[in-house]
Amino acid sequence: MWHIKENLIRLAAFLSFFATAIFIWSCSDSTSPENGQGQIKLTMVDAPAGFDQVNIVVTRVEVHKSGADSISGWVVINNNTATYDLLTLRNGASVVLGNSSLDAGHYTQIRLIIGTGSNIVVNGIVYSLNVPSGEQSGIKLNHAFDIQPGLVYELMLDFDAKHSIVLTGSEQYKLKPVIRVIPTVISGTISGKINPIITLASVYAISGTDTVSTSAEITTGSFKLMALIQGSYNVKVSSGNAAYNDTTITNVMVVAKQNTDLGTINLSLK
């Protein structure tokens, strides 16, 4: 009887181990890239604009493999339809547009397929947003990149809603997207806090002819400028309150994959 009980215990332990091994194997197989694959992660941020909301319906995100034709060469990295209010994606907020395994190789384009229902809200009124060819050819972004086996390639799309919305007629709005495509590996951020918060300041990072902007949060005065290619910037703070002076901080260095914290920036009374 004792030997039977011991054998049953051993059998139970073996079955438990076997079941655990199968579970671990199945989980890792479903989430890890296969041999010869890497991974792409695509996130989106935005700059401020003078609207209440800018809602974009994205039905599919794809990338195009080099050497393939214009039809079969597109690879889907996200086909879950979602609506994004671009104006919520600022001061450090972002959304993941795609996070997917991808065959190793060279890719040349990214595109966002836009569904019906995109709109803009102005002074509380909702207007339909026309996205030309959004449902057919989509929003195409020319950006060449390589996927390497076992590695993650991260990209950030910096959507400029302010310069992307065009008023074409009587209350007719059209999307002509202005989007910067920035690899995370060569970009960083600048953050800080504007004092006092009643200045309602706008903040600009300027490098040559390139400018990235944001607005300080109205409740805290904090700000964060995203997707800045590493290098030197002049940070201009423009007061939205006529009683306060503007200021500029020169030679602010941005280091790849790091944040440069400017601390509290005090604006003086005129």
Tell me what pLDDT residue 92 has: 94
Average pLDDT, the chain: 88
Tell me what pLDDT residue 36 has: 82
Would the pLDDT of 17 be above 70?
no
User: Is residue 91 within 8 Å of 217, Cβ to Cβ?
Assistant: yes
How many CB atoms lie under 10 A from the CB of residue 181? 16
**Tell me, what DSSP letter sits at residue 267?**
P
Phi-psi domain of 74 (left: phi exceeds 0; alpha: psi -120 through 50; beta: other): beta
Would the pLDDT of 9 be above 50?
no
Percent residues over pLDDT 70 in the chain: 87
Quickly list DSSP for 192-210: EEEESGGG--EEEEEETTE
Tell me what pLDDT residue 135 has: 78
pLDDT tens string 92-134: 999 999 999 999 999 999 999 999 999 999 999 999 999 988 8
Tell me what pLDDT residue 208 has: 94
Backbone φ and ψ of 257, nearest 5°: 65, 20
Q: Give me 191's structure tokens.
A: 């953050």
Place 168 in a pLDDT band, splitting at 50, 70 and 90. confident
**Tell me, what DSSP letter sits at residue 158?**
E
Higher pLDDT, 10 or 55: 55
Tell me what pLDDT residue 34 has: 64
Rounded to an integer, the average pLDDT of 252-268 is 98
pLDDT tens string 34-84: 678 999 999 999 988 899 999 999 999 999 999 898 888 999 999 999 999
Q: How far apart are CA 176 and CA 20, in angstroms?
A: 52
Q: How far apart are CA 221 and CA 265, in angstroms?
A: 10
pLDDT tens string 182-198: 999 999 999 999 999 99
Place 147 in a pLDDT band, splitting at 50, 70 and 90. very high
